[in-house]
């Protein structure tokens, strides 16, 4: 089942906002991200979309040519396709999209595999949203400079 989110209210800055895709099989993650990033969403600097499986994320990316998503935050441990498998596919199909991984387990195997496969960052749960916001701001700044 596909899960598409409504565009955020601030349509004036829609062209300048960056679209981020959060991929996690835990549905409460959507509410958490929306709450923690509400200021950035309201300002129109970012738009968030959510997929609750790696397959759903790929369907969302494949539905727009080129994909509108600039950055993906993906959980590693999900039923079906893992976040690491998603990372490999995204990096081969859409090398311009940056991907960071999220895991409840900070083990070195997942970390090393993620970084070796091209992940930009690796966040452990519970997510440090100050670090995540720093990453978002760096991405937004580098995109504005491009």
What is the SS3 assignment for 86?
helix
Handedness of CA 78, 139, 48, 43 (dihedral sign): positive
Whole-number percent of the chain with pLDDT over 90: 75
Taking only the tens place, the pLDDT of each residue in 45-55 is 999 999 999 99
**Does the pLDDT value for residue 68 go beyond 60?**
yes
- Going along the chain from its start, the domains and CATH numbers come out as 14-145 (3.40.50.2300)
Spatial contact of 49 and 72, defined as CB atoms under 8 Å apart: no
DSSP character at residue 95: T
Query: What's the pTM?
Result: 0.87
Mean pLDDT of the region 2-15: 43
**Closest to 98 in 3D by CA, of 73, 77, 75, 125:** 73
């Amino acid at each position: 089942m596909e899960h598409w989110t409504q565009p955020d209210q601030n349509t004036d800055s829609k062209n300048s906002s960056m679209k981020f895709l959060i991929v996690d099989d835990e549905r409460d993650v959507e509410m958490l991200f929306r709450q923690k990033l509400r200021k950035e969403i309201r300002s129109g600097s970012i738009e968030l979309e959510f997929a609750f499986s790696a397959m759903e994320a790929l369907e969302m990316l494949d539905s727009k040519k080129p994909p509108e998503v600039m950055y993906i935050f993906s959980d590693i441990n999900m039923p079906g396709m893992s976040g690491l498998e998603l990372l490999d596919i995204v990096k081969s199909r859409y090398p311009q999209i940056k991907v960071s991984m999220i895991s409840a387990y900070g083990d070195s195997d997942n970390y090393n595999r993620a970084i070796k496969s091209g992940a930009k960052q690796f966040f452990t749960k519970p997510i440090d949203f100050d670090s995540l916001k720093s990453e978002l701001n760096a991405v937004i700044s580098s995109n504005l400079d491009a």
